A and B are shown apart, each in its own frame.
Chain A
């Protein structure tokens, strides 16, 4: 059983507004634990992407407290942000691949940012691209890849550095069902190694196919808890169930 002090992310009464508009997220409180697999659902405009932006430290909240990896993320000095961001893998909804870099270089980017030598980069990046079925497109630029291929490159980039937490915004939106399941298996594999996974999706079928996953649902900027994801201990011991093949 995961201990409460081993929380990886803790939101307490968090609110977010852009400019003077009304809040897009209101009174958000939850805790994410290591090794758990979370789905985040909600209608368009419910605030999923905004919540994910807070999770991958692209945005500071308007109010409330956020603790990540045991540290107060609100008062975190700017110069310490890169170290935290390297512990978070992100799959952006719009992929956000670097257009002038090849698929290989895009996937290698987190490793290069982390200062890994070129000699140590080649093999894992090639293996990762093989795994997502793009072994023969290593040198292709994003503009020459299909939407699904770009999405797989984005996913490979998010997981290549084996992050402590993976945040994915609609990661299977542009791939066929087979590839979607394959990518979910990839996330599960990462999850079994201890990575906390947060996947925002509309695909309810996908949610049921990941055993032990926990569900958070956003409705008009407020969070609901259909599977007990926000309670401790979680209703289902995800780390035990996900360990099964």
Chain B
């Protein structure tokens, strides 16, 4: 008989060529898994993109306003207002540590106030006591000490002057932006947790469905790692498909939001546009999602297999 003879060339059974691709059914671990991952990744991309945009806007605004100081000459008498404004301007130009100083032209002020004060015939804007404004840029951040130093120079020559750091006006806005960033971070963490939980459930479900086969593979000498690799592979495929779909959907939403905010043109919307490093970070999210899903599947399967002999 030649069945077990050399001519049959039965290979040695202890080689380390991993041929475990067909130990368990190939395909997805469970039907909805790619969809679940796609939704998770899309939401994560949107949350992360929004967080990055807010951070960028906050940084840009903060850098813009960091050294900004506004001096208002608040007095109803136009002549006295002009005199004090000129005196304050002269005192500021003589002060150290200033990058630029300029008085905001009266016409520009009236233009700014026109939407609120009216522009129809009979609206006498000029009759209103609008404060004179002096825009100051410090060469360093407008700290309370520097503001106090400026006040000490200005108030003796312009008693009606009010001096404020521009950043302080937007402090509540920055606080809100910070809170939104934390919210985005919290959403991302929650989504990551939900992804892990979904993968864990899917892996356990798949383990239950294939328990009989797994026991057979064990009895034939299959190792836990071989079996785990099959599940990892299935989860990687599901994760890659879902991740890609989620990325496309998430980026689509971000682009649509960008278009919606673009007409605002200025303020926070302009600087909030994402840079290429931000897009790269967003593109990495599906990959991180796949790694997280695969790792979760592996640990879940290995933990379950350790319960078997």
Binding site for B on A (CB under 8 A): 56-60, 78-79, 81-86, 90, 96-101, 105, 108-118, 120-121, 123-124, 127-128, 131, 157, 160-162, 186, 189-190, 193
Contact = CB atoms under 8 A, between A and B. Distances in A.
A10 to B, nearest CB: 20
B3 A115 contact: no
B106 interface: no
Tell which of A79, A98, A105, A123 has the most Cβ of chain B within 10 Å: A98
Contact of A189 (B1, B13, B222): B1
Given A85-B220, A114-B221, A124 B10 contact: yes
A60 B19 CA distance: 29
A153 to B, nearest CB: 12
B120 interface: no
The dominant DSSP class at the A interface is: helix
Interface residues of B, number: 34
The 6 closest A-B pairs by CB, nearest first: A86-B221, A114-B13, A112-B19, A85-B221, A161-B13, A120-B11
Nearest to A84: B221
Given A82-B222, A101-B22, A117-B19, A190 B13 contact: no
11 contacts: A60-B309, A78-B309, A82-B223, A83-B221, A98-B216, A111-B19, A113-B226, A116-B19, A117-B15, A186-B3, A189-B3
A162 B19 contact: no
Contacts of B14: 83, 86, 114-115
B309 A162 contact: no
A127 B3 contact: yes
B222 to A, nearest CB: 4
B25 interface: yes
Contact of A118 (B1, B8, B19): B19
A113 B3 contact: no
A115 B8 contact: no
A96 B217 CA distance: 10
Contacts of A60: 309
B18 interface: yes
Given A58-B309, A124-B10, A161-B10, A96 B221 contact: no
A160 B218 CA distance: 17
Nearest to B15: A115
B9 A123 contact: yes
Contacts of A115: 14-20
B13 A111 contact: yes
Interface string B255-279: 0000000000000000000000000
